[in-house]
Structure 1
Amino acid sequence: MGILEKISEIEKEIARTQKNKATEYHLGLLKAKLAKYRAQLLEPSKSASSKGEGFDVMKSGDARVALIGFPSVGKGRGRQVIAVARTADVVIMMLDATKGEVQRSLLEKELESVGIRLNKHKPNIYFKPKKGGGISFNSTVTLTQCSEKLVQLILHEYKIFNAEVLFREDCSPDEFIDVIVGNRVYMPCLYVYNKIDQISMEEVDRLARKPNSVVISCGMKLNLDYLLEMLWEYLALTCIYTKKRGQRPDFTDAIILRRGASVEHVCHRIHRSLASQFKYALVWGTSTKYSPQRVGLTHTMEHEDVIQIVKK
């Protein structure tokens, strides 16, 4: 039986197994096996020719956005395309508003299978394999989804018999498996429902109220400006404008940085040696109490601030 058949059999067994106290250990083991087989599926085949054609997209610019649509679903090249999304800063999931729920479910499942976790945070679980001493299990919160016995069974499935485990939040078996595997990617996702001109206003309102969702119509150019605003917000980018002494600020060429960037980050973006020659900076904008304000390297910049750097 191949890996795909094994995955299919486990998924069917999970679907038909009723979830209760008596079956939680069995389900936990099934999920651990499923995660192992999915990881094997993503590994390059040893029998494949070294001359095989790869797939990647050169990273450039200030941020990377993965645009995932329904044609991306499936095996082969489609799976490779989705795997590239692991290196993105934000995922935009393009959905047809007339059949968005079906498409969304399939795409989320596909991304889940390659280790991408959408709009989730990394589980607050401390896990460290050891050379001896058995399994040490502790928790700082009341656990309702995992027990010490289930944690041990999952670890044994991965051939781990000595480890230190500390739960700092109430996590599910799936989240614990993600911590063991250690290669999961957690990233924000914006669900974009297109073709809203083909559905009722009530349905548009329902989709628009969903978390992390934007409704648009590319054909009629509806709500595209709001999509750009949301994308900028999800990327957490900041525009910083520069100013030379005695001249007006240059508003045509902004420096793009991550939210929370300091004056030192601005210096490194302009030139790698500028921070070592830095004396002070004058900043105009919302990050200062008054304009201009003299600041140092640790000052945090805000969106659309203007900066003038003075060297030693």
Structure 2
Amino acid sequence: MVTNLPAEARAKFAKYMDAKTPEEKLKALEEFLSYVPKHKGTENLVRWARKRMAELREEIEERKRKGGSGGTYSFFVEKEGAAQVVLVGYTKSGKSSILKSLTNANVEISEIPYTTKYPVVGMLPYEDIQFQLVEAPSIIPHGGGWNNKVIGLIKNSDGIIIVLDASKNLIEEFNNISMFLKDHGVYIERPRGYAVIERGYSGGIRIVSYGVLKCTENDVIKLLNSYRIYNAIVKIYGEVDIDDIERSLFESIIYKPTLVLVNKIDLMKSREELKELMNYIPKEIPVIGVSTVTKEGLNIIGSELFRILNIVRIYTKPPTGKPAEKPLVLKKGATVLDVAKAIHKDLFEKFSYARVWGSSVKFPGQRVGGDHVVEDGDIVEINIKK
């Protein structure tokens, strides 16, 4: 990764991060690149800078075509339900048919390529919760700004469904889509570790660890200060070293749990190619063959999403009442204090103890502290300080 960048390059990169308009960002990146030494250790950085410059030029041209100085519109869908999952794939892969078969969405299905111009939303029921499925407009080869909008939609989601067409070369299509995602900083395999840096205007450098930081906090502060970053929250996921911290300045890396659907499986003469794909794809990514004609495979999508999204359903109850019918949905590993915070900040701030019924305790109604980890289906009663 990038090491020993000259001070001039770091200063120009700081200028890029502070820039407000695409024109300012482009100029700052051009200046930054002129100060970056060209050798093997900076190849990825140079590639990133040139790619980002191309995106900025396209954004500037698109704004000119629209005849205004305002920003271009983006794809954004407000989250609902237990989790938001985006269906992504190439045109004619059958994303619309799958969405219509699984949800209540009003979907236009057509033989014309690229019929879906904007995100389409539907709700998939699973037991006592619902997943929000969002069909993204199809990926366009060399689609530039259009694909960037699709990526923005994906990055805002909780997970991805990659839809492949059974009539195509499955491994080739999967590789193309996964590489497209990776090129835009979206990983569908859980990385060893990565960092997310959220810049601020006060508070200094704060580190929030959800994993292991394999350097000192002072190392992180010193690195960020060298890029003229003095206020930021640094979130650590997995095992992260100082190179990962520096990489996160240049690359926006994010992991998304992923399910692969091989659509139109009813048209396959042999299932051998499906088996080859299953053996080829990393084991952590489930593959389901589906058909919207025969309905094969559609009934297990909800349970697979529930599993890969690593969520739990928690049923809250007041000290003198019955458990709620609708559960809170939290990430696996959540504690009783997380439950209290999700209900109301007063319960979190005044928390005293909780009683829990379910698989996470030894006996029904067991009294537990705030650090007790809850499990799917638990009933939790929060008690506050008098």
For the aligned residues, what is the CA RMSD?
A: 3.3
Match of 2:14 in 1: none
Identity across the alignment (%): 27
Matches within 5 A, 1:152-231: 178-179=247-248, 181-199=250-268, 200-209=270-279, 210=281, 211=283, 212-219=285-292, 220-231=294-305
1:241 aligns with 2:315: yes
Residue in structure 2 matched with residue 70 of structure 1 by the alignment = 90
Q: How many angstroms apart in 1 are the aligned matches of 2:360 and 2:344?
A: 23
After TM superposition, the score normalised by the length of structure 1 is 0.68
1:56/1:84 contact within 8 Å kept: yes
Contact preservation (8 Å) 2:265, 2:291: no
| Conservation of the 8 A alpha-carbon contact between 1:35 and 1:177 | no
More displaced 10-residue stretch of structure 1: 280-289 or 116-125: 116-125
Distance 1:276 1:185, change over 3 A: closer
CA distance in 2 between counterparts of 1:58 and 1:34 reads 31
Q: Which residue of 1 aligns with 2:179?
A: 109
Consecutive unaligned residues of structure 1, counting only runs of 5 or more, are: 1-24, 133-167
Deviation readout 1:249-304 (Å, 9 max, x if unpaired):
33x31111111111111112112211233332210111111112011222111111
CA distance in structure 2 between the aligned counterparts of 1:309 and 1:78, rounded to whole angstroms: 46
The alpha carbon displacement at 1:176 in A equals 10
Amino acid at match of 2:90: F
Change (3 A) 1:186 1:43: farther
Corresponding residue number in structure 2 for 1:306: 379
Partner of 2:52: 39
TM-score under structure 2 length normalisation: 0.56
In structure 1, what is the Cα distance between the partners aligned to 2:366 and 2:372?
A: 11
Say if 2:75 and 2:152, in contact at 8 Å, map to a contact too. no
- Equivalent in the alignment of 1:275: 348
Question: Which position in structure 2 is the counterpart of 1:53?
Answer: 72
Cα 1:29–1:125 shift into 2, 3 Å? farther
Task: Give the SS at the match of 2:277.
Answer: helix
User: Contact 1:64 / 1:90 at 8 angstroms: preserved in 2?
Assistant: yes
Match of 2:150 in 1: 81
Q: Which amino acid aligns with 1:296?
A: G
Tell me which amino acid in the other structure corresponds to 2:51. Answer: R
SS of the residue aligned with 2:178? helix
Match in the other structure for 1:159: none
Structure 1 contact 264–297 (Cα < 8 Å) conserved: yes
Shift of 1:233: 1.8
Give the drift of 1:240.
Answer: 0.4
Contact 2:171 2:277 in 1 (8 A): no
| Number of residue pairs the alignment of both structures matches | 249
1:130-182 CA distance string (max 9 Å, x none): 759xxxxxxxxxxxxxxxxxxxxxxxxxxxxxxxxxxx999xx9x89945614
Residues 293, 233 of structure 1: CA spacing in aligned structure 2 closer, same or farther, 3 A cutoff? same
- Residues 284 and 293, structure 1, Cα contact 8 Å, conserved in 2: yes
Q: Which runs of 5+ in 2 are unaligned?
A: 1-37, 92-137, 195-212, 228-238
The 1:245–1:68 alpha-carbon spacing in structure 2 relative to 1, beyond 3 Å, is same
Q: Whose Rg is larger?
A: 1
